[in-house]
């Protein structure tokens, strides 16, 4: 039985969510509160397996509460958010603070929209219950603040011959932030699929860009892949790598979900295998399910270097585990070592 606690200042939201969740035989709503201060008092008596948390509330906002929670007692948390441009930005702050999922609610027709989305929330709660959130304060304490962008040295990597492809899902927003913040401006071009709803990826990329020495932005159709740039696949679209002469670029395309995801890591990785081959490094990171495992295998078979994030540093060891079982990853690395691995790859001679 999964114990769930709901924190939302809307009595209607709490009522409807409780009714939706209580209909599932393996979920028990053990409590609800209108704000985090009331919630914390109640949770101390019966701690939940999963927390469903609004972000905009009186007295204490959800992000402040989540930061406190993740520093003191990491708990799988799903953010209940209104999907707007402003909502996307604040929800990404929640991801950075340690949230493992987002459940979107509409402002209009709220009751009907929540009833329609209840199956999605139930699925997310089941997935969240299987995660192992990391103590955010402990993780970030070892990471120095990013320095001002340095001028490339004389041996800076300027070729477009190398591509780094990263694929991740649950826990990936925090993981990508940690990795990308430590990369220099002369890092090889990076292409990224992070499972994330439409409208969130642009705000996610903007947030990373404000924190990193390298440039990070949401990919546009036919964007060139170049040194010092990371391109994030837009939510609701697939992204593929292509090559023209000595240069790489991306195609942003519509199409059906692959492995239940759009963007799909497999779609990206397979295109990297086809068009970059041994000039690529593929890294599959924390996430639920098996998206990316077969694509990483295709990359390895095409001569690319392939790596899986290790179990100890994953919020969910699903995607990396599947890749390892297929023989797709040549080795595992901790999250803290992935940036060094990318830097070393950029400097090493091509096989």
Strand ranges for the chain from DSSP E: 2-7, 27-33, 50-54, 77-82, 101-105, 163-168, 189-194, 215-218, 224-225, 229-232, 238-244, 247-253, 280-284, 305-309, 331-333
User: Which one is catalytic: 118, 291, 313, 339?
Assistant: 291
Within 8 A by CB and 6+ apart from 113, the residues are 105, 106
Q: How far apart are CA 201 and CA 89, in angstroms?
A: 10
Structure tokens at 330: 């040549």
The CB-side HSE value for 224 (13 A sphere, CA atoms) comes to 10
Structure tokens at 298: 């295709």
CA-closest candidate to residue 326, choices 288, 283, 294, 302: 294
CA-closest candidate to residue 21, choices 35, 39, 1, 36: 1
Q: How far apart are CA 36 and CA 97, in angstroms?
A: 15
Classify strands 189-194 and 229-232 as parallel, antiparallel or unpaired. parallel
User: Which one is catalytic: 49, 186, 195, 238?
Assistant: 195
Rg (CA), the chain: 20
User: Which one is catalytic: 54, 81, 118, 169?
Assistant: 169
CA 219 to chain centre: 16
End-to-end Cα separation, the chain, in angstroms: 51
**Is-catalytic flag, 291?**
yes
Burial 146-159 (b: 16+ CB within 10 A, else e): eeeeeeeeeeebee
**Is-catalytic flag, 169?**
yes
Q: How far apart are CA 294 and CA 308, in angstroms?
A: 13
**Is-catalytic flag, 261?**
no
Residues annotated as catalytic are 169, 195, 291
């Amino acid at each position: 039985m999964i114990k769930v606690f709901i924190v939302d200042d809307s009595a209607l939201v709490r009522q409807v969510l409780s009714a939706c969740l209580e209909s599932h035989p393996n979920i028990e709503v053990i409590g609800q509160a209108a704000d985090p201060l009331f919630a914390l008092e109640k949770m101390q008596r019966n701690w939940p397996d999963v927390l469903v948390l609004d972000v905009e509330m009186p007295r204490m906002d959800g992000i402040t509460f989540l930061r406190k929670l993740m520093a003191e007692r990491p708990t799988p948390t799903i953010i209940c958010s209104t999907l707007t441009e402003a909502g996307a930005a604040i929800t990404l702050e929640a991801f950075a603070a340690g949230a493992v999922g987002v459940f979107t609610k509409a402002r209009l027709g709220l009751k009907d929209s929540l009833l329609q989305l209840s199956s999605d929330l139930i699925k997310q709660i089941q997935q969240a219950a299987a995660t192992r959130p990391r103590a955010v304060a402990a993780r970030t304490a070892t990471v120095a603040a990013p320095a001002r962008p340095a001028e490339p040295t004389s041996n800076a990597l300027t070729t477009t011959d190398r591509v780094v492809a990263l694929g991740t899902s649950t826990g990936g927003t925090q993981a990508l932030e940690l990795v990308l913040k430590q990369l220099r401006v002369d890092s090889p071009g990076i292409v990224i699929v992070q499972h994330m709803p439409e409208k969130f990826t642009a705000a996610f990329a903007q947030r990373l860009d404000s924190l990193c020495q390298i440039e990070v932005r949401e990919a546009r159709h036919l964007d060139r892949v170049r040194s010092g740039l990371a391109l994030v696949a837009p939510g609701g679209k697939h992204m593929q790598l292509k090559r023209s002469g000595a240069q790489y670029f991306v195609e942003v395309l519509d199409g059906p979900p692959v492995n239940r995801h759009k963007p799909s890591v497999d779609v990206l990785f397979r295109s990297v295998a086809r068009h970059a081959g041994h000039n690529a490094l593929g890294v599959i990171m924390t996430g639920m399910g098996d998206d990316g495992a077969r694509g990483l295998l295709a990359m390895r078979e095409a001569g690319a270097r392939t790596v899986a994030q290790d179990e100890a540093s994953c919020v969910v060891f699903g995607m990396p585990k599947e890749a390892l079982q297929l023989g797709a990853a040549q080795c595992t690395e901790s999250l803290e070592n992935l940036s060094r691995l990318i830097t070393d790859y950029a400097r090493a001679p091509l096989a």
